[in-house]
Amino acid sequence: MSNISSGGVSLGSARLCTLHEAAAYLGVTERWMRRAVVERRLPFVKVGRLVRFDVVDLDAYIASQRVESDNTQ
């Protein structure tokens, strides 16, 4: 698997990342991540009692939040 990075944050070849790593990857606070988990706004994986995020899901979330410009001149 290739090196995964966004905004200068490298996750190496890991597919699952911690809340801290996912927050850095998305450029948001850890508090926002916790709220997104509670509100089920982001998909996550439970490993025992630990919450992990799949990088593929984070990329899909980013793509789903894209807003196209309305640049009609």
pLDDT digits (tens, 9 = 90+) for 16-40: 999 999 999 999 999 999 999 999 9
Task: Show the domains of the chain with their CATH numbers.
Answer: 5-64 (1.10.1660)
- Alpha helices in 1-73, H assignment, sequence order: 19-26, 30-38, 55-64
> How far is the first Cα of the chain from the last one, in angstroms, to the nearest whole number?
43
Give percent above pLDDT 70 in the chain.
79
Whole-model pTM: value is 0.74
DSSP 23: H
Task: Give the whole-angstrom CA distance, residue 73 versus residue 70.
Answer: 9
- Dmax (CA) of the chain: 54
